[in-house]
C-alpha cells in the first residue's frame, strides 16, 4: 500500500514492483458531489463538482470571507466513488471540503479536497481523527487510512480514519497537463550526452504542457506542501477537532513535519516514517541517495551471486556487478530492445533504482537484470513476468499522471521538502558526469534532469519550511534506507527536539506496517507506533529495533 518515490516517474514503478496498483495509488478519482455550506449566516460555497471540472468559483471576490468561515462549512457525506470498492465495503463515507486556492486571499477562488471517513469503532475511547499520507510528492491518499488499518490493530478503533487526496491530485480539484505528443523512442545508436539532451527536451516539454493547459498558470503557484498542510488543518477544523493525529511515510513524513511547524498547538499524535534532512533541497536529497543506492546494489549483488544457479548473473558479487555495468554500458551505445520497445540507459537506471530499495525485492531485481542482460545480447525470447509488467506500465497513462503529480509539488515548493532545483540545465549534466567515478550505476540518474523545474515558468509563492521546535512526535527510519538516507533522519531528529527516533538495521524504505506490503514486519516498531497512537505515550528514549528474521538464505 505504501507509495515511495525516487523520481516523479517512479511512482507507478514503485507501486507496480510492490504489487498491483492499490486503492491508495494513482487511480483514485473524485469523491461524490454535494452541497457544501459555510454554516449558519455565512455564504454558501456552491455545489461541488466531480473530477474533471475546474475549481469552484463564487462569483466576485468576497473580501470579508476569512479562513475561519471555511471551518463552519457542512459536509455532505455520501457513498465513496464506485471504484473505491474497499472503502465502500469498509463502511466509509466520502465528501469534499472546500478550501481557498490561496490562503492569503480567502475571499477569492476555491478548490475542493476529496476526503473519506471511517468512524471509530470504540466511540467511548475515541482519540480524535487520524489523517495519513502515503508519500510522493504526487501520491493520493483517499483510501490510505483504510490500508493502514491492519497495521494499526486495535489502535485504529479509537480514531475516525480520515483519508484525503492532496490538492490537485486524484479526486480533489484536479490539475492535469496537456497530453504529450506521440512517443519518440530512443534512437538505435546513442551516447550519454544524447541521452541527457533528450531528458532536457522532455523536461522542457513537460513544463510547457503543464503551464499552458487550461488555467494551470493560475493554479500551479498554489501547489505546495505548506498549502497541503493548511488544507489538512482546515479538514481538522471542519470536523470539529482540536488536534490532528497523523501518519506519513517518505514525502508524507516531511509533510507531517511541516504541519508540526505551522500548527504546533494543533498537532496530536504525530508519526513520521522515513523523513529527510530539512536543510537540504529536494535535488540535494536525490543526489544523496546515490551512494546508499550503490551500497544497496552491492548487497543485492552478493545475494544474486548466492543464487547464481537461478539467475546466472555471476558466482561472485563482482561478477554480478560487472553484468549490471555491462548492461548499462551497452545501453549507452545501443538501447536494449525488448518486445519492440527500446530501453535506454537512463530508463534502465530508474528501473534498477526502484527494487533495490527493499531486501524483499532482490528476486524481482535479479529477474529484471537477467532478462535485460539477455535482451541486450539478443538472447531473450520472451520477457519474464517482472519485465513484462514494467513494459506494460511504461506505455500506460498512469505513468504520465504520476509524473505530473510529482512535478507540480517539486516545482511549486520553495525549498524543503520538495523544492529547490537548479535553474541551469548544465548543472545536472556536470553533476552526472562527476558522479560516475564513485556511483557508476545510480549517479547519472540521481544527479540528472529528474524534474522539469528548471523550465517551470512560475516561481514558488513561499520559501521552504524551517524546522525547529519541540513538538512531541515519533520518528522511524531504517539505517540502510537507500531512498532517503539515515543521516537525513538524524538531522531531522536533531531539529525536532521533542521527537523520539525508532531505528532498525534494514534495507527498506518505510519501517511501520511493512506486512501490509507483503514484507517482513518489524514487530518492535509496529508495537511502539501503536502504543503511541493508542495512549499517547512516547518512549522515554530512542529505540533500536531488531530487524525481522530472514526467511530465505
CA distance 166 to 496: 24
Nearest by Cα to 129 from 227, 285, 235: 235
Q: With a threshold of 0.85, does the pTM exceed it?
A: yes
Instruction: Report phi then psi at 41, rounded to 5.
Output: 75, 10
- For the chain, which residues make up each domain, given as ranges? 65-176+221-281+462-552, 180-212+282-414+422-455
Nearest by Cα to 155 from 275, 23, 269: 269
Local structure of residue 438 (DSSP, 8 states): T
* End-to-end CA, the chain: 26
pLDDT number for residue 550 = 60
Angle at CA of residue 289, ends 287 and 291, nearest 5°: 95
For the chain (length 553 residues), average pLDDT per consecutive 10?
A: 36 37 28 30 29 43 81 97 96 98 96 97 91 94 96 96 97 92 90 96 94 93 97 98 98 98 98 98 97 98 98 98 98 96 96 96 98 96 94 80 85 96 96 98 95 93 96 98 97 98 97 94 97 96 90 43
Cα→Cα distances 18→301, 304, 463, 519, Å: 20, 19, 34, 9
Max Cα–Cα distance, the chain, nearest Å: 76
What is the edge-to-edge ordering of all strands in the sheet holding 159-164? 93-100, 110-118, 159-164, 128-133, 244-249, 267-273, 473-478, 499-504, 543-545
C-beta neighbour count of 457 within 10 angstroms: 14
Is 509:4 a contact under the CB 8 Å cutoff? yes
Exposure string of 327-348, with b = 16+ CB inside 10 Å and e = fewer, is bbebbbeebbbbeebbbbbbbb
In the CATH hierarchy, which fold is given to the domain comprising 65-176+221-281+462-552? Rossmann fold (3.40.50)
CA distance 347 to 352: 9
User: Please, what is the angle between helix 345-353 and helix 10-17, to 10°?
Assistant: 50
Is 36:97 a contact under the CB 8 Å cutoff? yes
Is 80:87 a contact under the CB 8 Å cutoff? yes
pLDDT number for residue 19 = 35
Question: Per the structure block, which three cell numbers stand in for 416?
Answer: 524543503
Name the burial class of residue 396, with classes exposed (0-12), middle (13-18) and buried (19+) by CB atoms within 10 angstroms of its CB. middle
pLDDT number for residue 9 = 38
CA distance 400 to 187: 21
State the alpha helices, DSSP H only, in 221-281: 225-238, 251-262
List, in order, residues 6 or more apart from 5 with CB less than 8 Å away.
11, 14, 135, 136, 137, 138, 139, 250, 251, 406, 483
Is 410:137 a contact under the CB 8 Å cutoff? yes
What is the helix, strand, coil percentage profile of the chain, to 5? Answer: 40, 15, 45
State the alpha helices, DSSP H only, in 213-249: 216-219, 225-238
List, in order, residues 6 or more apart from 83 with CB less than 8 Å away.
27, 28, 29
Is 161:128 a contact under the CB 8 Å cutoff? no
- State yes or no: cis peptide before 18, omega within 30 of 0: no
Residue whose grid cell is 490493530: 153
- The helix (H) or strand (E) run that includes residue 454 is none
Instruction: Report phi then psi at 145, rounded to 5.
Output: -60, -35
CA distance 204 to 195: 14
Amino acid at each position: 500500500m505504501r507509495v515511495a518515490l525516487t523520481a516523479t516517474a517512479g511512482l507507478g514503478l514503485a507501486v507496480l514492483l510492490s504489487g498491483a496498483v492499490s486503492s491508495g495509488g494513482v487511480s483514485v478519482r473524485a469523491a461524490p458531489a454535494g452541497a457544501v455550506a459555510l454554516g449558519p449566516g455565512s455564504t454558501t460555497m456552491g455545489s461541488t463538482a466531480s473530477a474533471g471540472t475546474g475549481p469552484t468559483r463564487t462569483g466576485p471576490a468576497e473580501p470579508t470571507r476569512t479562513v475561519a468561515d471555511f471551518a463552519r462549512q457542512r459536509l455532505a457525506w455520501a457513498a465513496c466513488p464506485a471504484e473505491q470498492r474497499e472503502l465502500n465495503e469498509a463502511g466509509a463515507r466520502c465528501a469534499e471540503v472546500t478550501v481557498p486556492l490561496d490562503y492569503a486571499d480567502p475571499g477569492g477562488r476555491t478548490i475542493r479536497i476529496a476526503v473519506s471517513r471511517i468512524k471509530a469503532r470504540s466511540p467511548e475511547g475515541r482519540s480524535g481523527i487520524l489523517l495519513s499520507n502515503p508519500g510522493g510528492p504526487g501520491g493520493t491518499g483517499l483510501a490510505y487510512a483504510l490500508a493502514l488499518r491492519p497495521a494499526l490493530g486495535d489502535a485504529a478503533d479509537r480514531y475516525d480514519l480520515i483519508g484525503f487526496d492532496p490538492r490537485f491530485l486524484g479526486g480533489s480539484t484536479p490539475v492535469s497537463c496537456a497530453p504529450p505528443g506521440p512517443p519518440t523512442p530512443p534512437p538505435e545508436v546513442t551516447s550519454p550526452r544524447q541521452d541527457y539532451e533528450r531528458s532536457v527536451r522532455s523536461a522542457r516539454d513537460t513544463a510547457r504542457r503543464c503551464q499552458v493547459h487550461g488555467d494551470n498558470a493560475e493554479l500551479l503557484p498554489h501547489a505546495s506542501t505548506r498549502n497541503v498542510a493548511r488544507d489538512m488543518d482546515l479538514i481538522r477544523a471542519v470536523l470539529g477537532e482540536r488536534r490532528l493525529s497523523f501518519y506519513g511515510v517518505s514525502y508524507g513524513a516531511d509533510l507531517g513535519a511541516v504541519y508540526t511547524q505551522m500548527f504546533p498547538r494543533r498537532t496530536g499524535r504525530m508519526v513520521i516514517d522515513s523523513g529527510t534532512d530539512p536543510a537540504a533541497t529536494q535535488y540535494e536529497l536525490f543526489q544523496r541517495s546515490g551512494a546508499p543506492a550503490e551500497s544497496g546494489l552491492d548487497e543485492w549483488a552478493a545475494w544474486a551471486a548466492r543464487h547464481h544457479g537461478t539467475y546466472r548473473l555471476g558466482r561472485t558479487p563482482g561478477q554480478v556487478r560487472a553484468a549490471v555495468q555491462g548492461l548499462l554500458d551497452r545501453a549507452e551505445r545501443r538501447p536494449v530492445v525488448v518486445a519492440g520497445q527500446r530501453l535506454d540507459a537512463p530508463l534502465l537506471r530508474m528501473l534498477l533504482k526502484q527494487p533495490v530499495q527493499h531486501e524483499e525485492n532482490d528476486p524481482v531485481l535479479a529477474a529484471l537484470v537477467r532478462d535485460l542482460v539477455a535482451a541486450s545480447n539478443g538472447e531473450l525470447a520472451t520477457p519474464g513476468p517482472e519485465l513484462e509488467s514494467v513494459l506494460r506500465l511504461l506505455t500506460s497513462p498512469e505513468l504520465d499522471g504520476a509524473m505530473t503529480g510529482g512535478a507540480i509539488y517539486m516545482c511549486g515548493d520553495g525549498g524543503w521538502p520538495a523544492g529547490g532545483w537548479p535553474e541551469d540545465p548544465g548543472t545536472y549534466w556536470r553533476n552526472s558526469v562527476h558522479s560516475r567515478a564513485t556511483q557508476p550505476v545510480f549517479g547519472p540518474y540521481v544527479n540528472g534532469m529528474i524534474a522539469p523545474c528548471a523550465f517551470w515558468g512560475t516561481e514558488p509563492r513561499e520559501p521552504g519550511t524551517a524546522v525547529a521546535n519541540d513538538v512531541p512526535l515519533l520518528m522511524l527510519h531504517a539505517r540502510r534506507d537507500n531512498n532517503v538516507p539515515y543521516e537525513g533522519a538524524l538531522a531531522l531528529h536533531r531539529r525536532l527536539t521533542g521527537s523520539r527516533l525508532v531505528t532498525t538495521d534494514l534495507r527498506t524504505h518505510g519501517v511501520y506496517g511493512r506486512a501490509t506490503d507483503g514484507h517482513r514486519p518489524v514487530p518492535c516498531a509496529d508495537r511502539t507506533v501503536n502504543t503511541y497512537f493508542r495512549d499517547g505515550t512516547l518512549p522515554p528514549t530512542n529505540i533500536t529495533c531488531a530487524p525481522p528474521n530472514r526467511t530465505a538464505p
